[in-house]
């Protein structure tokens, strides 16, 4: 078998950063590069596979047992986040990690330090794959892609491995919230599925945020500052005032667990006009709706104070908490727990402080919890993944496939 590390390094070398400003699907033409590569690799393994016009790779491995069992699917996304560059990724391989600071050699003086990221110490003695400090790594979610492909290769090269129907899916644009908008669940053909898109080893998630995006346009009035009294409306300052009306304690840096937040993610502006971007998150649906109501209220307040049309709010729901869709099928969580235990991994069931394609798939009728892919510090230059965690994730996939053959 090809080594998992080599496969992962090949995938992260392909720039697949999605583009939230684009209206196409995939949102960036470069995503096709990896999607086509995956299709070709699956074909080389003798797997039936299709790549459709929307960038969905769907593959199917028929059952090799005589009894009828549920079809189980495994899904990962190929795109990387817009938050940091995914071009010219130069991974660093750190064998037998000693627990110290790791220099990220692309940026002089930059280090991945256990004092700042204490989870590093969980992986002493293991092989770490880091960035060089100039880009993200892409373990989110090319680690998941590599783990699935590694499991597929094992199945195709070991005909004695007993399995029911196995479905494989690779998607674009997850990072911009559009990963499965046009995903045809019936064509995919799975009864149950798992996204391999979680973080640290052991993570198992079937609860995620309810999510919305909020875009605020502030229309100011620019006049010469020498004659501005009573006339100027500074869009930058008005936007700052609106932001100050949102609760400080509900910012991401002050929240954890089930606590939701308002997160300002972008700003561009002048005195004349300014644009602010937010994401709104909460696990509890009623609190989520209350957060959306609050941002509407503060927008109304600004318009009442500075004149109608000063602030224009565009609010859009992105995805919802999958728990209500997955919990009635709790046996798929129990199987994931057992699959991890079989691999010697301690399961950690916890809510996702984010979202996955699995949330939207669950609401499309495909119950789809999320399993660890092994990476940490996603979306930035401090991202890394332990190779041993990736190997365990691939083992968990094979264990799950075996468990679905049992009554």
The DSSP line for 88-140 is S---EEETT--SS-EE-TTSTT-EE-TTT-GGGGGGTTSPEEE--SSS---HH
Which member of 79, 141, 207, 383 is catalytic? 79
For the purposes of burial, counting CB atoms within 10 Å of the CB of 210, is it exposed (0-12), middle (13-18) or buried (19 or more)?
A: buried
Whether 88 is catalytic: no
Q: Residue 80 carries which DSSP code? A: B
d(C-alpha 237, C-alpha 224), whole Å = 16
49: Cβ contacts below 8 Å, ≥ 6 apart: 39, 42, 43, 57, 58, 59, 60, 168
User: The tokens 């496969």 sit on which residue?
Assistant: 7
Active site residue 174: yes
Do 49 and 170 form a contact (C-beta atoms < 8 A)?
Answer: no
Q: Report how far residue 14's alpha carbon sits from residue 175's, in angstroms, rounded to the nearest whole number.
A: 16
Which among 174, 203, 282, 395 is annotated as catalytic? 174
Instruction: Write out the catalytic residue numbers.
Output: 79, 174
């Amino acid at each position: 078998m090809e080594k998992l590390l080599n496969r992962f390094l090949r995938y992260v070398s392909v720039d697949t950063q999605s583009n939230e400003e684009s209206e196409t699907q995939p949102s960036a033409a470069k995503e096709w590069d990896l999607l086509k590569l995956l299709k070709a690799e699956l074909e080389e393994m003798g797997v039936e596979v299709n790549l459709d016009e929307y960038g969905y790779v769907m593959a199917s491995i028929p059952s090799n047992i005589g009894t009828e069992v549920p079809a189980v699917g495994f899904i990962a996304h190929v795109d990387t986040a817009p938050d940091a560059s995914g071009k010219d990724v130069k991974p660093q391989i750190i064998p037998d990690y000693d627990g110290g600071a790791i220099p990220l050699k692309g940026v002089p003086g930059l280090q991945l330090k256990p004092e700042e990221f204490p989870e590093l110490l969980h992986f002493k003695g293991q092989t770490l794959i880091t960035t060089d400090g100039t880009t993200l790594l892409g373990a989110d979610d090319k680690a998941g892609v590599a783990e699935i492909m590694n499991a597929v290769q094992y199945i195709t090269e070991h005909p004695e491995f007993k399995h029911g129907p196995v479905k494989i899916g690779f998607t674009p644009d997850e990072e911009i919230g559009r990963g499965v908008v046009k995903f045809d669940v019936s064509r995919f053909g799975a009864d149950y599925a798992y996204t391999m898109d979680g973080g640290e080893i052991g993570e198992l998630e079937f609860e995620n945020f309810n999510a919305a995006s909020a875009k605020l346009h502030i229309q100011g009035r620019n006049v010469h500052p020498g004659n501005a009294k009573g006339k100027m409306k500074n869009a930058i300052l008005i936007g700052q005032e609106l932001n100050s009306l949102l609760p400080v304690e509900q910012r991401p840096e002050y929240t954890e667990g089930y606590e939701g937040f308002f997160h300002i993610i972008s700003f561009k502006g002048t005195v004349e006009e300014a644009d602010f971007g937010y994401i709104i998150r909460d696990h509890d649906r009623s609190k989520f709706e209350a957060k959306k109501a609050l941002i509407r209220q503060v927008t109304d307040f600004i318009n009442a104070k500075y004149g109608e049309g000063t602030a224009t709010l565009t609010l859009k729901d992105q995805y919802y908490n999958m728990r209500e869709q997955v919990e009635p099928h709790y046996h798929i969580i129990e199987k994931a727990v057992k699959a991890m235990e079989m691999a010697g991994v301690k399961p950690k069931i916890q809510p996702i402080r984010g979202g996955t394609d699995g949330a939207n798939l669950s609401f499309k009728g495909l119950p789809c919890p999320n399993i660890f892919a092994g990476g940490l510090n996603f979306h930035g230059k401090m991202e890394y993944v332990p190779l041993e965690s990736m190997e365990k994730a691939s083992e968990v996939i094979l264990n799950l496939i075996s468990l679905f053959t049992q009554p």
